[in-house]
Chains A and B, each alone.
Chain A
Amino acid sequence: MSIKRFYAVLKARNYEFIRDKSALGWNFLFPIFIVAGFAFAFSDSNIDVYKVGVYGESSQAADDSHPFFNTRHINFVAVDNLEKAIVKVERHQLDMLFDLEQRRYWINNQSPSGYILERVLSGSPPHSGDTPKAGPAASMHSQLQDHLQFQKTQVSGEEIRYIDWLLPGVLAMNIMFSALFGVGYVIVRYRKNGVLKRLKATPLSAGEFLCAQVISRLGLVMSITIIVFIGTSLLLDIPMYGSYLNLFLIFVLGSISMISVGLLIAARTASEEFAGGILNLLSWPMMFLSGVWFSLEGIHPWLQKLALIFPLTHLINGARAIMLDGAGFVDIIPYLATLTFMSALLLAIGAYTFRWQ
């Protein structure tokens, strides 16, 4: 390993990235646009959870007609066409519909929201289907009916907004795209247009070349991630419950593992189209199954297990554990170990299978 050769390639690659304004701009702006967009979309802290249509009389009259109409987090919408409003209930576009003149309401039997709203309307009486007829279950049910068995205890704490939860995912996703396309696609292009062939004719070794690519991209990806993290944290007041050092560590290891995936894909192919297809085939499922946009808790257990093969999953879970749950170094060791193992394995295979032409 010659440091002189490694540094020469590293420097040239960095120049190329920094001077390619379009690529540089995109790498910075893409995560900022996404975070800003979601911040704007979810900026209303008083989000209504349910939507109820009200037909007839004024809203003030509705408020006075039943305490239900003063329930918070329900958006009461005045409707002037009852038939159309009923269709909306059928289509789950309205969770419930009231006709104040006829003192009637509609819910959709298949709508969970409608079910919950009806329970709120009636003060949570036991559901007929839920009531046990006899036996220990009936006894337990009877006990549960006794409200005095439950003592209300209030807790307080800062809300974890969706945007707080989203930021680690968006940063990790940007790392993924930058690593996969910035390394994988670029190496394939180098191979196709003969840059690699020219370098092969020099004493430069494959290891020196690949190390330079990894370090160059790692430095650039981490610089961008840090700048975007600081910018969005200040702009959107993102909370941080853990250690910045741990967060840096998990992003470094996550970036190396993603770059390793890019190197592996680019190890042999000389077709940009083929490489682009493979990169998309890999990046899109990874983006959706690794929990960038939504929690994986509700998805099928098989998909949850499948998501564990992606380094992005471990990067995002680790980053969220640090940022939102305040996880310490010991807590994130499983994530760090998994990312280290994945990086080592992928880098070894990528270097072994790499060809210049």
Chain B
Amino acid sequence: MNPVMEVKSLVKQFGNFTAVNGIDLILHGGVCLGLLGPNGAGKTTTIEILEGIAKPTSGSVLFNGQPMGKAFKDTAGIMFQSTALQEFITVRETLELFARLYPKSAPIPQLVEKCALSDFMDRDTRRLSGGQRQRLLLAIALINDPSILFLDEPTTGLDPQSRRNFWELIQDIKQQNKTVLLTTHYMEEAYVLCDEIAIMDHGEIIARGTPKQLLAQHFNSMILQLPATGVDTGKLSASIQFLQRNNEIEIESRDINATLQVLLAHNINLEHLKIRSHTLDDLFLKLTGHELRA
């Protein structure tokens, strides 16, 4: 696959603070790359540089092998993390406004159908619900029929139904072989939508690969979950390592049979035992730690 975007030694500093610390990244055509990381990891700064909105302190960004010029805006679709729309104009007028800003635009009726906007086309943008607003912002990002699409936390603040509805829209866009760069806090979203993920922390990319590759690379164990009620955790800790969360015990195990033997030896009731694989949530916490980020 040809790289659509190549990022080399990208650095962005704000005074003495380094938000992006020399990252390298290759984005292949038709791939959806998820950029994950805790708050303040440098995701939004990175994506804004790749969008051409912010300038890097140093490093280079090549689009189709060339430095990003003015023509890049014609072929890129962008959905920002938080964007206000011009007030006192309708959804239809907003789409028409943005359509006229590009040399060529996608047919508005198709966008309306694809993003399910038809029910509120004549509604003032101030009176849209969260889900309607995000769908309109996605339609605006698609209005120039972009070859590359940037989605910065597109489902933040949406209810589960709206989020899943939004995922379907993005899945549909992916079918059109568009290149997508997505940032998100939702690991499930990254798992469902992204062909590859890159995890950022402290301005650096600390892991990169497909979700399955990364999980296989960082975990070769399963997780056993038990209710903590009735378990003598003091005695159990002498025999096995475990993590207690709320009223539940989590045991990471590479040998399920051996672990079950230990539990039975402690006369622990296994009626409510659950065994699961590691998820991206586990990977995220393993790589970025458990401490709260501002």
Whether A associates with B in a native complex is: yes
Q: Which residues of A contact B (CB under 8 A)?
A: 4-5, 7-9, 11-13, 15-17, 19-20, 190, 193-195, 197-204, 357
A357 to B94, CA, bound (A): 21
Contact between B88 and A20, CB atoms less than 8 A apart: yes
Contacts of B89 in A (CB 8 A): 12, 15-16, 19
The answer to whether B80 and A12 touch across the interface, beta carbons within 8 angstroms, is no
B83 within 8 A of A: yes
CA distance A4 to B52 in the complex (A): 23
- Given A194-B80, A201-B51, A7 and B88 contact (CB-CB distance below 8 Å): no
Point out the residues of chain A lying under 8 angstroms from B80, CB to CB: 194, 197-198, 201
CB distance from A189 to the nearest CB of B (A): 9
A5 with B101: CB separation less than 8 A: yes
Instruction: Give the residues in chain B near A201, CB-CB below 8 Å.
Output: 51-53, 73, 76, 78, 80
Is B98 touching A16 in the complex (CB atoms < 8 A)?
Answer: no
CB pair B83 A195 closer than 8 Å: yes
**A to B CB contacts below 8 Å, 6 in the list:** A8-B96, A8-B101, A16-B87, A195-B84, A198-B85, A203-B74
B83 contacts A15, CB within 8 Å?
Answer: no
Check if B18 is an interface residue, CB within 8 A of chain A: no
Bound-state CA distance A198–B79 (Å) is 8
Closest to A208 in B: B101
Considering only CB atoms, which chain B residue lies closest to A6 in the complex? B100
Q: In the complex the two chains form, is A195's CB within 8 Å of B74's CB?
A: no
**Contact residues in B for A5 (Cβ distance below 8 Å):** 100-101
Contact B53 A197 (CB under 8 A): yes
Which residue of B51, B52, B88 contacts A15 across the interface (Cβ within 8 Å)?
Answer: B88
Residues of B within 8 A of A13 (CB): 86
Is the pair B84, A19 in contact by a Cβ cutoff of 8 Å? no
Determine whether the beta carbon of B51 is less than 8 Å from that of A7: no
Contact, CB under 8 Å: A202 / B101: yes
Across-interface contacts of B101 in A (CB, < 8 A): 5, 8-9, 199, 202-204
CA distance A201 to B76 in the complex (A): 9
Tell whether, in the assembled complex, residue B84 and residue A16 are in contact, meaning their CB atoms are under 8 Å apart. Answer: no
C-alpha gap A13/B84 in the complex (Å): 15
A19 near B97 with CB under 8 A, answer no
A residues less than 8 Å from B97 (CB atoms): 8-9, 11-12
